[in-house]
Structure 1
Amino acid sequence: MHFIVGGAFQGKRKWACTYYRITERKDVVWYNGYECEYGEPDANILERIVVMEGLEAAIRCIPDSAYWKRMFQIWHEWERQSSGRTVVWIGSDITQGVVPVEKEERLWRDVTGWCYQQLVQLCDRVDRVWCGLAERMK
């Protein structure tokens, strides 16, 4: 698995498309966490690349680190079942800066940080994208 993280509007999606040579969305299965679309893999997925964009937003929909740990493991197993498969997670870094005043916002920020820590343990590669440039972290 591959995790791409960085600030909002820093070019994560564009960098991922360039890196994986994705020219059209038909080449991949693309889940949108901003619309709470994440789910478990099924037998109908024939594409070799699955992109999970908006991880921080999906975590907001389900702010349960145990759920996400299980979800990361399920996708990790799906990826390993057949050579050539890659699951790409894209998430914005919301864990830095001013700590939110509202309790719910703080919880979301904390759970997102915990989930990202769990995810990177399973990933073969982690990149931070800033201003469109990637820095490989793992």
Structure 2
Amino acid sequence: MDLIIGGAYQGKLDCARRTFGVRDEDIFTCTETDSIAFGSRCINRLEEFTLHCVRQNEENRNEALDAAELFRRNRESWRDSVLICADIFCGVVPLGADMRAWREMTGRLCAYLASEADTVTRVFCGLEQRLK
């Protein structure tokens, strides 16, 4: 698995296309839903998936969704994928509790994914920096 992180509009998807040969038809883009195509060649916008998990947890205290745990359970499905996540876990700490929870869950998911990844690439201003 290859993990690509970076700020908004920094060229993460272009990096996936250029470096890993990802095509448009290979890309599953996360939205605010608990449905995620773990077997896709490329899973984009993981931060949207974690935001959905946080919002679900606010509504359903009894059935908490943990993004990292969902990825652990489906590990074999995404082992050969390129995963892309916006870097929302650095910088100014948000005031709202829900946004802090989102930032924390996204950070924990990326930490887990980085530990499992073959490569981790950070993209800044279109420039790729190999972290792992």
TM-score range (shorter-chain normalised) is 0.7 to 0.9
Question: Which sections of structure 1, spanning at least 5 residues, go unmatched?
Answer: 42-48, 81-85
SS in 2 for 1:15: helix
Aligned residues: 123
**Which residue pairs with 2:31 in the alignment?**
34
**Which residue pairs with 2:69 in the alignment?**
70
Distance 1:108 1:79, change over 3 A: closer
The offset of 1:32, in angstroms, is 1.1
Question: Which sections of structure 2, spanning at least 5 residues, go unmatched?
Answer: 58-63
Q: When the two structures are superposed, what TM-score results if normalisation uses the length of structure 2?
A: 0.80
The offset of 1:54, in angstroms, is 0.4
SS in 2 for 1:135: strand
- Whether the 8 Å CA contact 1:75–1:87 is kept in 2: the answer is no
For residues 108 and 35 of structure 1, the distance between their equivalents in structure 2, rounded to whole angstroms, comes to 12
The offset of 1:40, in angstroms, is 4.2
**Which residue pairs with 1:8 in the alignment?**
8
**Which residue pairs with 1:109 in the alignment?**
103
After the TM superposition, which segments of 4 or more aligned residues of structure 1 sit over 2 Å from their partners?
Answer: 34-37, 63-76
Percent of aligned positions that are identical: 31
Distance 1:70 1:111, change over 3 A: closer
In structure 1, give the amino acid aligned to 2:7: G
Question: Which residue among 108, 124, 131 is the counterpart of 1:130?
Answer: 124
**Which residue pairs with 1:25 in the alignment?**
24
